């Protein structure tokens, strides 16, 4: 049985000490990794009512040109709000654009990444725009896009 795991890290645009408090700045990158299991796909399917056989039937997936059963694209994209909310509790997700580039198969490790591209203060909160990307096998982009979130603070 595959074990789900999560890795969280902050890679700032400029160096900082891990012992010092870091404030989000344009260029900062936040990452988390996850392996999506068969159980994840089944649970997501139950919640979303997406019963596309590409997620459950190997023969269907292969006859459609895929190597194996697919993880739902929106399940993979759920890494983006998870990354933002785990670093900024109380964040409000405002928008997300997505482009699906490559398939994600059950059991593959996916690294989600958000990079701050613009931050504006609005009434004691912060409207932050992010480039969003998911990778497999190190450098293969499976999803990219942009997100906007309203952050209660910038401290990580």
Q: Which two tokens stand for residue 49?
A: 């009512």
pTM of the predicted model as reported, rounded to 2 decimal places: 0.86
Question: Which domains, from first to last, does the chain contain?
Answer: 7-151 (3.10.129.10)
Starting at the earlier edge strand, list the strands of the sheet with 92-100. 7-11, 29-35, 109-122, 125-136, 140-151, 92-100
pLDDT at residue 20, as a whole number: 52
Question: Tell me, what's the pLDDT at 9?
Answer: 44
**Which positions ≥6 away from 18 have C-beta within 8 Å?**
none
Q: Which residues, 6 or more positions from 124, have their beta carbon under 8 angstroms from its beta carbon?
A: none
Tell me what the mean pLDDT of segment 2-7 comes to: 38
Going from the C-alpha of 59 to that of each of 53, 67, 103, 105, the distances in angstroms are 9, 10, 16, 14
pLDDT tens-place string over residues 70-81: 999 999 999 999
Asked if residue 38 has pLDDT above 50, the reply is yes
Rama region for 137: left / alpha / beta (φ>0; ψ in -120 to 50; rest) = left
Between residues 9 and 24, which one has the greater pLDDT?
24
């Amino acid at each position: 049985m595959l074990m789900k795991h999560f890795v969280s890290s902050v890679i700032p645009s400029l160096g900082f000490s891990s012992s010092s408090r870091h404030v989000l700045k344009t260029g900062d990158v936040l990452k988390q990794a996850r392996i999506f299991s068969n159980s994840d796909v089944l649970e997501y399917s139950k919640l979303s009512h997406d019963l596309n056989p590409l997620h459950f039937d190997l023969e269907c997936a292969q006859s459609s040109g895929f190597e194996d059963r697919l993880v739902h694209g929106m399940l993979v994209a759920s890494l983006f709000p998870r990354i933002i909310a785990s670093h900024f509790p109380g964040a409000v997700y405002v928008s997300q654009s997505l482009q699906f580039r490559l398939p994600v198969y059950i059991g593959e490790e996916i690294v989600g990444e958000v990079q701050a591209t613009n931050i504006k203060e609005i009434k004691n909160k912060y409207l932050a725009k992010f480039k969003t990307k998911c990778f497999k096998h190190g450098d293969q982009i499976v999803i990219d896009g942009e997100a906007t979130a309203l952050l209660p603070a910038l401290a990580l």
